[in-house]
Chain A
Amino acid sequence: MDELHNQVFSPGSLPELFSSWSRFPDAVLFSGGTELVRGQGGLVFRLPRNLIALGRIEELRRFSRTERFLDIGATATLSEILALGKILPEALRRAIAETANPQVRNLATIGGNICCPSRRMDTFAPLVALDARLELRTAVSSRWISASRFAPAFGPPLLGANELLTRIRLPLETWDYCVHRRLGTSRWPDDEGAVFSFIARAQKGILSDVRMAFAGKTLVRDREIDNAIIGKSLPLEARMATAFVDRWRTAVAEAQFPSGLLKDRFLNLVEQAVFGLCD
């Protein structure tokens, strides 16, 4: 134990981690640490009393790939994921490439990005749009949950007590159309920031799948509205695009957004993305 105040555990495996965590349930997990120390410009960091460092757990940083899925360990850094190159879906690749700077991407992990309690970080919108699934484990159980169900519209992600995000499973599908926009004043997370992801694919000139997600302080997604333009032929008729935007306008009219400006910007992005299918 540190003579000053912090106590840091460095388990080498998941059983060791859960054992430490059961003894110190208040311990905070530390991987890249970029969120935990964000904005702390003082002489020393203000760290939680008990920390569990995940860096030594190899299992949490593995990648594996099958024909249909890419599995990413939760402590894989954003740089390591970016280095996967072309197998990475474009929406996610662009979101990661626009996150912070190369040095910070060498530290920040995808698990930390997903589990950030204060807001949805940059990778969340593309993960929701891509229908990624997340593996959550405790000492005695494991479950898979879709990224969209992992986070409510507002508030922290739905992690149970002593539950750990261990893996992210990305479906490896081809998307023909991708619109990605990052809103905010800089490359660093702020309350006004959000990420917009719109992906679509077509078969024989017919829209076969459309997915849209918007994530920042709030998470916006509605599969029913997405489904409204599936099956339409391309280029999309302008009246259908207008109807799509109007449905979104109605859907978010009462929704809680951090600001009216952000809501307007969201609707503008929906309009730009869907009218892009009319060209």
Chain B
Amino acid sequence: MTVGFILNGEDVVVQAGADRRLLDILRDTFKLFGSKASCRVGRCGSCSVILNGKLVPSCLIPAFSVRGGEVITIEGFMQTDEYLDIAAGFARSGVEMCGFCESAKILATEALLDKSPRPTREEILSAFDGVLCRCTDPRTLAEGVAAASDARQRRLYGRAP
């Protein structure tokens, strides 16, 4: 089957069986290794990507359902100003992540800030429910997200909160 979609801002077309996972297409066909293949059943979150504006586990997405959609992986997201806000916030709070969950935590932060620019601590913690990795202390992570939110407010509105 021919599947056309927008990947990190570019139109792409791929030949893939309907039963292939988006995760494998990203990794094998496009050599985008930022989304990690771990549990492959949607529980760990390490393969998360943004599909049509929503954070989803790419391991649960069959190829045919991406047709006509827009996918943003960590590689594409790193080219944006929004990524710089998150990187600055995480750096300021000393958030350190392992290589497996890093992309998912950054994209989960973006999905949260997109929905709720000034998230509460509870919102922050529940946003990471779907990223199962114990490498980062939740308190530091919450501080990092709050700092990322501040950085975004400063960039967008030119003032500290």
Question: Which A residues contact B (CB, under 8 angstroms)?
Answer: 2-6, 8, 10, 30, 33-34, 37-47, 51, 53, 55, 77, 79, 83, 97, 100-104, 106-107, 188
Whether B130 pairs with A103 at a CB distance below 8 angstroms is: yes
Instruction: Report the minimum CB–CB distance from A247 to chain B (whole Å).
Output: 38
Find chain B residues with CB under 8 A from A47 CB: 18-19, 62
Whether B20 pairs with A44 at a CB distance below 8 angstroms is: yes
Most chain A CB atoms below 10 A, which of B18, B20, B43, B54 = B18
Interface residues on chain B, number (Cβ under 8 Å): 31
The contact of B62 among A37, A97, A104, by CB within 8 Å, is: A37
A45 and B19 in contact, given A102-B129, A104-B130 (Cβ under 8 angstroms) = yes
Q: Which residue of A lies closest to B47 (CB)?
A: A103
Whether A41 pairs with B41 at a CB distance below 8 angstroms is: yes
Whether B18 pairs with A100 at a CB distance below 8 angstroms is: no
Find chain B residues with CB under 8 A from A103 CB: 42, 45, 48, 55-57, 130
Whether A4 pairs with B19 at a CB distance below 8 angstroms is: yes
A44 and B21 in contact, given A53-B64, A103-B57, A106-B55 (Cβ under 8 angstroms) = yes
Question: Which B residues contact A (CB, under 8 angstroms)?
Answer: 1, 17-21, 24, 39-43, 45, 48, 54-57, 60-62, 64-65, 67, 108, 111, 115, 126-127, 129-130
Q: Which residue of A lies closest to B60 (CB)?
A: A37
Given A4-B18, A10-B64, A102-B55, 10 other A-B residues pairs in contact with their CB atoms under 8 A: A5-B17, A8-B1, A33-B62, A37-B60, A38-B42, A41-B39, A51-B64, A104-B60, A106-B55, A107-B61
Most chain B CB atoms below 10 A, which of A42, A45, A103 = A103
A30 and B40 in contact, given A43-B24, A102-B55, A102-B127 (Cβ under 8 angstroms) = no
Find chain A residues with CB under 8 A from B54 CB: 77, 79, 106
Find chain A residues with CB under 8 A from B56 CB: 103, 106-107
Q: Which residue of B lies closest to A102 (CB)?
A: B130
Find chain B residues with CB under 8 A from A104 CB: 42, 57, 60, 130
